[in-house]
Structure 1
Amino acid sequence: MYIKLNNAKSNATSYAYTGTHDLASDLETIVFVHGASMDHTVWAHQSRYFAYHGYNVLAVDLPAHKFSQGELLPSIERMAEWLNQMIGQMIGQTVGAAFHIVGHSMGALIALEAAANFNHPDAGLNSLTLIGFSYPMSVTPQLMDAAQHNPSEAYSMMTQWSHRSAIGGEPVPGFWSAGMQLSMMENSTPGAVHTDLVACDNYNNGETAFADIHCPMLFLSGALDKMAPAKLAKAQANKNECAEIVLIPECGHSIMSESPDGVLDELKRFIGGRRK
């Protein structure tokens, strides 16, 4: 599904995967937000399930990622503003008034900031899920330098650090998560990995954002995550009375592909439990 934002400065269109279904005004909507230099396909297993089980699904491509046009946005705040703009445009047109936002890695920061500024008068935010989350989301100088000067090296570093193992242990025969992630990043927009990592490294509004969120929150992390250590997610979850944290065993940062059913089961439990 392609969406043209009403107040965009250009004619750029944005893309969101909807599970090939028409959106319905009487269904709750789940918005999925991908991470740095990724795209909507990281949610293939989870988004397709919800699209076929009574929800509207919007698995977005951020601007200048995959099928979405426009320029790369330089900050988490700008990306969250874009996301809320898209949500606001959809309200009252094709979707209902109840929303859930799910974000992974950089997408978790975007989801957090968007949730804190979810001020749509005709809609409500029923839940927020932060997957592979850490705050602050600091980027090592080595990775930042590679992202700017040698993107291929950055892709390799991020792929290696995102998985518990480079080979073997895949949940689906013939499926190679690390190879698919590397290919996805290699086909991303030039400059995307550096722009996205700078946005993560510079984001410092997390504590303020959390104070402005009052819906139920789920922190979902891989127990073996090296990119966003689960201990940081746990520490943040423990500060919020409306939050819970779940660790998926034997998983790294690429949790949706290393444990697709594990993530889906937790989303079904958490989001389904808040269904109106």
Structure 2
Amino acid sequence: MQLSVDGVETFVATGGRPFEPSLPAVVLLHGAGFDHSTWALHSRWFAHHGYSVLAPDLPGHGRSQGKSLMTIAGMADWTAALLDAAGARPARLIGHSMGSLIALETAARHPDRVSGLSLIGTAATMTVGPDLLKAAEANDPSAIDMVSIWGLGLKAELGGSLAPGLWMHQGAQRVLQRCAPGVLHSDLNACNTYQNALAAAAQIKVPVTFILGERDMMTPAKAGKTLAAAMPHARTVALPAAGHMMMIEQPDELLAAIKDN
């Protein structure tokens, strides 16, 4: 569906069913350079099991208009505005990578709008290497190569797709290649400069689940556990052999982890 969020035309996937404000809401927040298609399986499961789903393309991404937002704080405020535009009840936020930081910051800045968190492939600090930042700033295709290679676990690189004939590596590259110039760099820089995760974690009062990939090279599980340690009552699930892009590498295992939050 299309929504106007802060005056910008925004595309929001709803999992194949119309958004119903009276139902419990789930918001699915994608990572740097990606879009709503990240959540193809998971959005449908929630939409067909008693939830209303909002899986937006962030500004400047996918089918959404506007310019990409420059900071995690700005994206968090935008997420609260999305909930207002949809007329949603307090929502459970499910975020991957950059989306996990957005979800965390939204819960800290707008606690009355959030009922729970699932943080996937996250870390206390999401440092981005200077070579990747430089390549992304120059719109060099090598940036897409780096994200794809580092983002997928070994099995995914060897053709471990559950759907016969599909190659996860090339699929990830195609989504990133559709980014408008500057979007990937803007997202990566927002992650790299965000330093508020531990302070935000200390403010969280809602249930939190961390889902971490044991072979994640972009946000190593050890870094995710550092953030989880700041929330004594958080639940942590580690997916064996999974890399960073758990939504496509281990979709069923990830769904089991997030639906049980």
Shorter-chain TM-score category? over 0.9
Residue 42, structure 1, aligned to residue 38, structure 2: yes
Is the contact made by 2:159 and 2:168 (CA closer than 8 Å) also made in structure 1? no
1:56 is displaced (CA, Å) by: 0.3
What TM-score comes out, normalization by structure 1 length? 0.90
Residue 127, structure 1, aligned to residue 113, structure 2: no
Q: How much is the aligned-residue C-alpha RMSD, in angstroms?
A: 1.3
Amino acid across the alignment from 1:76: I
* 2:260 alignment partner, SS class: helix
Q: Distance in 1 between matches of 2:245 and 2:111?
A: 31
Q: Distance in 2 between matches of 1:107 and 1:182?
A: 19
Amino acid across the alignment from 1:100: R
Q: Tell me the equivalent position of 1:273.
A: none
* 2:236 alignment partner, SS class: strand
Amino acid across the alignment from 1:193: L
1:244 is displaced (CA, Å) by: 1.2
Q: Distance in 1 between matches of 2:230 and 2:188?
A: 26
1:119 is displaced (CA, Å) by: 4.4
Q: Tell me the equivalent position of 1:3.
A: 3
In structure 1, stretches of 5+ residues that fail to align are: 271-276
Is the contact made by 1:215 and 1:242 (CA closer than 8 Å) also made in structure 2? no
Q: Distance in 1 between matches of 2:95 and 2:37?
A: 13
1:227-266, aligned counterparts within 5 Å?
A: 227-266=218-257
Classify 1:155/1:22 alpha carbon distance in 2 versus 1 (closer, same or farther; 3 Å).
same
Q: Detail structure 1 runs of 4+ shifted over 3 Å in the superposition.
A: none
Q: Distance in 1 between matches of 2:135 and 2:58?
A: 22
Is the contact made by 1:100 and 1:125 (CA closer than 8 Å) also made in structure 2? yes
1:1-276, aligned counterparts within 5 Å?
A: 1-5=1-5, 7-8=6-7, 12-91=8-87, 95=88, 97-120=89-112, 125-165=114-154, 166-270=157-261
Aligned identity (percent) is: 38
After alignment, is 166-175 or 15-24 more displaced? 166-175
1:150 is displaced (CA, Å) by: 4.1
Q: Distance in 1 between matches of 2:140 and 2:54?
A: 29
In structure 2, stretches of 5+ residues that fail to align are: none
